[in-house]
Structure formats: C-alpha cells, structure tokens
Chains A and B, each alone.
Chain A
Amino acid sequence: NAGVMQNPRHLVRRRGQEARLRCSPMKGHSHVYWYRQLPEEGLKFMVYLQKENIIDESGMPKERFSAEFPKEGPSILRIQQVVRGDSAAYFCASSPLTRLAPYEQYFGPGTRLTVT
C-alpha cells in the first residue's frame, strides 16, 4: 500500500514565479491536509480538504496561496508570485478520519521549495 506521495520533492523558483505542489493521499484516504515548516520552526497547519471541498483554510495566508482537491487527481497547493519568505518544506498528510482513529494523519515526504 503506497504511502502519501508528493511531487516534486524539490522545487526552485525565482521570485515572482508560481509554485505548484502536488499530493496524492494514501489509498482509501479521502481527507488531505497541508502543513508548512519554515527553517528552524515547527510544522504549521495550512488547509484541510476533502474531495471538491475546502473544510478549513484558517492557516492559509490570505493572499497568493490556494489549494484544491478535485474529484479526480491529486491535491494541489498553489503559490502565486513567490517571495523568499515562502522558502520552506511543505508537507501533505492524509487521513481516513474513521471513528476508531480520529485525526491520525500520515505524512508524505514533503516538497522543499527554495525561492531565489
């Protein structure tokens, strides 16, 4: 059973470009979460999605960031007009959100974004 998959693993963008990060959840998981880890900091929640729905985006910066989880295909985290402060590791997690194991989330290997 493949785990959570993320690509690309490393992404380099110049300031002002767009970054697209992709996440495929574990088989059987319909809930996807994005987290960001800035250098020397802990992981911070960004957004929680189900298929075609954003459930909680309270951790998303108000501008330039968006996320989606379409009916078909991976979840996408999109960062427009990247700035140096966006350089971080972006982790995706998925969960089956069963009653027996609420909120246990399994993480992908992350995408390390570097903005030059």
Chain B
Amino acid sequence: RKEVEQDPGPFNVPEGATVAFNCTYSNSASQSFFWYRQDCRKEPKLLMSVYSSGNEDGRFTAQLNRASQYISLLIRDSKLSDSATYLCVIGNTGKLIFGQGTTLQVKP
C-alpha cells in the first residue's frame, strides 16, 4: 500500500466550479501535512499547510481528519490558472512523502 494515496484524475471542470480533492495516508504517526502544486513537472510550490482545525486561504480550504487519516482540499470559483497537478504531502521526521498527484484541468 502506498504511504500517500490520491486519485490521479484528471478532473476536468468549467471555470467557476468548486472542486474537491481527497487524499489518504497510511502512517498514523505522520507529523505534518501539506498541499503542494506542480505545474508541468516544474518544482513543487507550497500551496498550504493543513491543520486539524482546518484552514482557509482565499478560495482554498484544507482539512485534516487524523482519525480517518484523510486530507482534503477544496477549491472554490476555479480559475484557468488553477490548472495544475495537486500533490498531497506528508511530513515525517523532516522528510516529505508525496502522493502521485491529482491533475486538475479548468476549462473556459
């Protein structure tokens, strides 16, 4: 079983749509949680850290459920520029463990 599992997609949505991505992780001792974004296999860029209390940054909302070992990312009012691969990432003792990524394509 992979340490971090994501639906690879692709998710094809129209501009303005709301889209949700989910991710599960296997190690209950995982310490920190993130969503990164990767465009065309360039460097990953930190989108947001994820906390149990949930956190929001503009159109993006992230949630962590430690009991279910589940992380989510919600994007509201999708823009064309949101088209990218979204990486669910776990931090353990310093190193990051990446999911395979979920591809989002926002269409006009």
Contacts and interface: CB of A to CB of B under 8 A. Distances in A.
Interface of A: 31, 33, 35, 37, 41-45, 48, 55-56, 58-59, 89, 91, 93, 95, 97, 101-110
A95 B89 CA distance: 15
B64 to A, nearest CB: 14
Interface in B22-74: 31-32, 34, 41-46, 49
Nearest to A48: B94
Nearest to A46: B95
Contacts of B98: 35, 42-44
Nearest to A59: B95
Nearest to A110: B43
Contacts of B93: 56
20 contacts: A33-B95, A33-B96, A42-B87, A42-B101, A45-B97, A48-B94, A48-B95, A58-B95, A59-B95, A89-B41, A95-B94, A101-B49, A102-B91, A103-B31, A103-B32, A103-B34, A107-B44, A108-B43, A109-B42, A110-B43
Interface residues of B, number: 21
B79 to A, nearest CB: 23
Nearest to B101: A42
A44 to B, nearest CB: 7
A101 B48 CA distance: 11
B91 A56 contact: no
Given A56-B94, A103-B94, 4 more contacts: A44-B98, A45-B95, A107-B45, A109-B42
Given A107-B44, A110-B42, A33 B101 contact: no
Contacts of A43: 44, 87, 96, 98
Interface string B79-106: 0000000010001011111111100000
A45 B49 CA distance: 19
Most chain A CB atoms below 10 A, which of B44, B49, B97, B101: B44
Contacts of B95: 33, 45, 48, 56, 58-59
A42 B96 contact: no
Nearest to B90: A103
